[in-house]
Chains A and B, each alone.
Chain A
Amino acid sequence: MGRMNGLVLSLGALGFGILYLPIIIMVIFSFNAGKLVSVWSGASLKWYAGLLENDQLLSAFGTSLLIAVWAATIATIFGICIAVAFVRFGNFRSRLALSAIASAPLVMPEIVTGLSMLLLFISMESLFGWPSGRGVDTIIIAHATFGMCFAAVVIQARLRDFDMAIEEAAADLGATQPFIFLSITLPVIAPAVVAAWLLAFTLSFDDLVIASFVSGPGSSTLPIVIFSKVRLGVTPEINALATVMIVVVAVAVIGASWAIRRRLSSRDQNQ
C-alpha cells in the first residue's frame, strides 16, 4: 500500500494547501505597503491604521456585532427548546411538524430564505403595520430563525448522551421539571449550549445573502459593506480587516479545542 499512501498524502496536502494558501498570502500582504496582493513593496501597518479610521467599516462592524449577539441568543434559547422537545418529550403530537420545519432551514438555499423573509415582512407591514420598514430588527429575526435550527442540532447531540438517571433521581427526590432543567441539565449541557451560541453567532456574523434582502437603509452589516467594496475591486483595507478577524477566530477555535482536550483527558484520568 506504499504507493497509495503517497497518493493519499499528496492529495491531502494539496487539499490543505487550497484551504490555507489564499488566507496565508492575504495575511502576508495585509502588511504590504503597496496596494497589490502580488508585489511586495515594503512592510507597513498603514492598512491597519486606515481600518481604524474607516467609519463605514467600523459602524458596519458594530451593526453586525449587535445583530449577531441578539440573533445567537434568541437562536440558542429556541434551539434548546427544540432539542429538549426532540430528546425528552418522546412522541408528542406535533413532533413530525416540528422536525420537518426545524430541519428544512438547514438545507434551504440562503437566497430563497432571504427573498421569502423579505416578502413576509412586507406583507406583515401592510397588514399589521409591523415591522415598519426593514432594519436591524428584521435581520435579527431572520438570523435567529435559521440559527435556531443549527443550534438545535448541536444541543441535541449533547442532550442525547446525557445520563437520564441523574434527572430521574432529582425527580424522585421531589424536584420539579423546570428546576431540574435549570439546576442539573443546563449546567451539564453548557459546553454544547456555548458551542451552539458561537455557531449561531458565526452564521449571523458571516451572512451576506439573507441580510442583503432584509436589511434597510442604515442597517448595512459588515458582509454587505465588504461585498460592495470587493465588487469594486481589491481594497487592501479588507486584507487588514480579514487578518484581524482570522486571528481572532483562530485564537478562539484553538483555545476552545485545547480546553476540550484538557477536559477530556482530565475526565479520562478521573475514571
Chain B
Amino acid sequence: MVRGIGKYLVNLPAVTGRRLVIALPLIWLAVFFFLPLVETLQVSFTSPRRGIPPYEPLWGIGDDGFFTNFTTGNYALLLQYWSDYFGPAFNSIKLAFFSTLVCLLFAYPMAWWIARSNEKWRTILLVLVMLPFWTSSLLRIYALIGLLNPNGFINAAGLWLGLIDAPIQMMQTDFSIYMGMVLTYLPLMILPLYAVMVRLDADLLDAAADLGGSGIQIFRTIILPLTLPGIIAGSLLVFIPAVGEFVIPALLGGPDQLMMGKVLWTEFFRNRDWPVASAIAMLLLAILTVPIIYARYQDGRDAVAETPNPKQAEAG
C-alpha cells in the first residue's frame, strides 16, 4: 500500500507537495486551536441566557439588521466578586509556585544521582523516572488518595505502629495537593535537569576540589550556574500546567482549596455560566502569558545553542 501511495505522490509536483506539508498542519491548527481561542474570547464578552447554547451570540444579522451583544459584564463580575475569583487565582499561583519549589527540591538530587551513576544504573533510574510519566496521572492520584485517606494506608500503618493516636487529616489540605503535584510533575522537572547535569564536565568538579573548594563552594560557584538552564526549563514545565491544574485540586483538595481550573470547571458544568467560564479562561491565559512567552524565548535560545547529540535524541 505504501508503494501505491508513493507512486501517487511521486507524480505530484514537488512545490505542491511542499505547500501541502506546511498547509495541512497550519490549517488544522488554525481551525482547531486558534479559532477556538478567538471563539472563547468572543463568548467571554457575551451574556448568559437560558437555552442552547447558553449564551447570546456576540454579533449577527437579525430582522433589524446588524446587532451586537457586547458586554464586559463577565469581567466586571470577576472584579466584583474579587474574593471568589481572585482568591483562587492567587491560590493557583501560590500552589503552583511552591509545587515547583518542592519538585525542584527532590528532582535536583534525583537528577544528580542519575547523571553521576554508571551507564547501567543510569538507564535503570531513567526508566524508573519515565515509567510513571507513561502511566495515567489520574490513576496515580487515585493511588495517592488510598495512601492519604483518613482510613488509608499511612494512617493505618501509623496507628498500628503506635506513632499516632488518631488518624491525621491529610486529604483536602495543602499537603495533599503538594503531594499530588509532586507525584504528577516530578518527571517533568527531572528530565531537563538530567539533560544539563549529564553534560557537566566531571573534571571541572575534580579540579575545584583539588584546589581546595568546599562542597558548598563548588555547588554555588560551579554546579548551580551550569545547571541553571535546566532549573529554568524544568520549573517552567512544572509551573505552567500546575497553575491551570484541575484534577489535583478536584480530587485531593477540599472545598477551600480553590484553584482557577476548579472554579472554571464549576462555573461551566455546575452553574452553566459559559460566558463567565470563558472570562476565567482568558484570565488564566493572561496570568500565564509571561511564563509562556518566556518559555518560548528559552526554547528558541536552546535550539540555537544546542548541538544535537545522537544518543540523546535516540532516547527521546
* A binding-site residues for B, Cβ under 8 Å: 1, 3-4, 7-9, 11-12, 14-16, 18-23, 25-26, 29, 36-39, 78-79, 81-82, 84-85, 89, 92, 94, 97-98, 100-105, 107, 109-113, 115-117, 119-120, 122-123, 126, 141-142, 145-146, 148-149, 152, 154, 157-158, 160-161, 176-179, 182-183, 191-192, 195, 202, 205-206, 208-209, 212-213, 223, 226-227, 230-231, 234, 238-239, 241-242, 245-246, 249-250, 252-254, 257, 260-261, 263-264
A residues within 8 A CB of B108?
11
Please indicate which of the listed interface residues B2, B142, B296 has the most CB atoms of chain A within 10 Å of its own CB: B142
CB nearest neighbor in B for A157: B313
* Contact, CB under 8 Å: A22 / B143: yes
Quick check: A145 and B138 within 8 Å, CB to CB?
no
User: Which residues 281-316 of B sit at the A interface, judged by CB distance below 8 A?
Assistant: 281, 284-285, 288, 292, 295-296, 299, 308, 310-311, 313-316
Q: Write out the residue numbers on chain A whose beta carbons fall within 8 Å of the beta carbon of B162.
A: none
B10 touches A38 (CB 8 A): no
Q: B144's closest neighbor in chain A, by CB?
A: A22
A103 touches B127 (CB 8 A): no
Name the one of B10, B29, B126, B179 contacting A179, with C-beta atoms under 8 angstroms: B10
- Write the nearest CB–CB distance from B97 to chain A, whole angstroms: 16
Is A94 a contact partner of B26 (Cβ separation < 8 A)? yes
- Taken together as a complex, chains A and B put the C-alpha atoms of A81 and B9 apart, in Å, by 14
Give every chain B residue within 8 A of A226 (Cβ-Cβ). 138-139, 142
| Interchain CA distance A15-B281 in the complex, whole Å | 33
Residue B89 is within 8 A (CB to CB) of chain A in the complex = no
CB B60 to nearest CB in A, in angstroms, measures 10
| Contact residues in B for A231 (Cβ distance below 8 Å) | 250-251
Asked whether, in the complex, the Cβ of A9 is within 8 Å of the Cβ of B113, the reply is yes
**Which of the listed residues B22, B250, B274, B292 has the most CB atoms from chain A within 10 Å of its own CB?**
B22
Q: Please, which residue of chain A has its CB at the minimum distance from the CB of B237?
A: A107
Is residue B204 contacting chain A, with contact meaning CB distance below 8 A? no
The interface size of chain B toward A, counting residues with CB under 8 Å, comes to 105
Contact B146 A37, beta carbon cutoff 8 Å? yes
Q: Please measure, in the bound complex, the distance between the C-alpha atom of A39 and the C-alpha atom of B155, giving whole angstroms.
A: 11
How long is the Cα–Cα vector from A146 to B29 in the complex, in angstroms? 9
Q: List chain A residues, Cβ under 8 A from B140.
A: 22-23
Contact of A206 among B107, B128, B136, B308 (CB under 8 A): B136
| A158 cross-chain contacts in B, Cβ below 8 A | 313-314
Distance in angstroms between the alpha carbons of A141 and B162 in the assembled complex: 54
**Chain B, interface SS category:** helix
| Other-chain residue from B106, B134, B139, B260 in contact with A242 (beta carbon distance below 8 A) | B139
Say which residue of B109, B138, B144, B288 sits within 8 Å of A11 (CB atoms).
B109
Interface centre among B24, B135, B209 (most CB of A within 10 A): B135
With A26-B143, A227-B138, A249-B131 given, is the CB distance from A142 to B313 under 8 Å?
Answer: no
User: Which of A126, A206, A260 is B138 in contact with, Cβ under 8 Å?
Assistant: A206
Q: List the 10 closest A-B pairs by CB distance, nearest first.
A: A109-B244, A38-B156, A116-B36, A37-B146, A15-B106, A178-B9, A22-B143, A120-B36, A26-B143, A116-B40
Rounded to whole angstroms, the CA-CA distance of A179 and B299 in the bound complex is: 33
* CB atoms of A161 and B123 under 8 A apart: no
B108-142 vs A, Cβ < 8 Å mask (1 yes, 0 no): 11101100000000010011111110111111101
A120 adjacent to B244 (CB under 8 Å): no
B277 at the interface (CB under 8 A from A): yes
CB distance from A4 to the nearest CB of B (A): 5
A246 and B138 CA atoms in complex are apart in Å by: 12
In the assembled complex, the CB of A167 is this many whole angstroms from the nearest CB of chain B, namely: 13
Q: Are A22 and B264 in contact (CB under 8 A)?
A: no
Q: Roughly how many angstroms separate A104 CA and B187 CA in the complex, as a whole number?
A: 21
Which of B30, B131, B183, B251 meets A250, CB within 8 Å? Answer: B131
State in angstroms the CA–CA spacing of A103 and B292 once bound together. 10
Q: Which residues of chain B are within 8 angstroms of A20 by Cβ–Cβ distance? A: 128, 132
Contact A110 B123 (CB under 8 A): no
Q: Mark B34-72, 1 if CB is under 8 A from A, else 0.
A: 111101100100000000010000000000000000000
In the bound complex, CA of A148 to CA of B136 (Å): 19
A1 to B219, CA, bound (A): 10
Interchain CB contact (< 8 A) of B244 among A110, A149, A179, A249? A110
- Which residues of A lie under 8 Å from residue B32 when comparing CB positions? 117, 120, 141-142, 145
Residue from the set B139, B186, B285, B316 with the largest chain A CB neighbour count within 10 Å: B139
- Shortest CB-to-CB span from B71 to chain A, Å, is 17
The answer to whether B146 touches A111, judged by C-beta atoms less than 8 angstroms apart, is no
Contact A148 B28 (CB under 8 A): yes
Per the bound structure, the CA–CA distance linking A226 and B143 in Å amounts to 12
Any chain A CB within 8 A of the CB of B225? Answer: no
Complex contact B128–A16 (CB within 8 A): yes
Q: Are A110 and B25 in contact (CB under 8 A)?
A: no
Q: A94-B26, A177-B17 are in contact. Are A261 and B123 (CB under 8 A)?
A: yes
Q: A112-B37, A252-B134, A257-B127 are in contact. List 18 more A-B contacts (CB 8 A).
A: A9-B113, A11-B106, A11-B108, A23-B132, A36-B156, A38-B153, A39-B156, A100-B296, A101-B26, A110-B244, A111-B284, A158-B313, A158-B314, A161-B313, A227-B138, A230-B138, A230-B145, A234-B145
